Amino acid sequence: MGKVALIARIILGLIFFVFGLNGFFQFIQPAPHGEEAMAFMGALFATSYFFPVLKIFEIVSGALLLSGRFVPLALLFLAPIVLQIFLFHAFLSPDAGFTLAILVLILELYLGIVVYRSSFCAILSAGGGSDGDDSTT
């Protein structure tokens, strides 16, 4: 793995590890959001399960990226989270944190498409990477 890939992995890992921990310990103040964004966030908070699960996935995935172990799995876990972060900032809160959302999206795409592409070839193939016969008979 090259230096750029290592730096990208560590930056992405730090972002998710730190912001995941922040979900439990609130050591970084959140940026102010507009009315629609706050309504959306309020609905997610009201479920009482969504944010703890999200933050646990962020912490675990960030730790995996930082350790360099199971990196493709961490990238797979983070893909829908990164997409939602980007869409949230693009549509509901473009003034608060959009630059970080773009950075996270770029890092995720770079690592997933360029660096760890071979790890995802089987699941992205039309045939599923096997002959399709999963029976053991």
Task: Say what the pLDDT of residue 131 is.
Answer: 56
Q: Decide: 110 and 103 in contact? Cβ < 8 Å.
A: no
Q: Are 85 and 39 in contact (CB under 8 A)?
A: no
Q: In tens digits, what is the pLDDT along the chain, a chain of 137 residues?
A: 799 999 999 999 999 999 999 999 999 998 899 999 999 999 999 999 999 999 999 999 999 999 999 999 999 999 999 999 999 999 999 988 899 999 999 999 999 999 999 999 988 888 755 555 555 55
Structural domain spans, the chain = 3-24+49-118
The pLDDT score that the predictor gives to residue 54 is 98
Summarised one tens digit per residue, pLDDT across range 15-52 is: 999 999 999 999 999 889 999 999 999 999 999 999 99
Q: 22-50: buried (b, 16+ CB within 10 Å) or exposed (e) per residue? A: beeeeeeeeeebeeebeebbeeeeeeeee
The one-character DSSP state at 95 is: T
Determine contact, residues 33/96, Cβ cutoff 8 Å.
yes
Say whether pTM exceeds 0.75. yes
Q: What is the 3-state secondary structure (H, E, C) of 18-64?
A: HHHHHHHHCCCCCCCCCHHHHHHHHHHHHCCCHHHHHHHHHHHHHHH
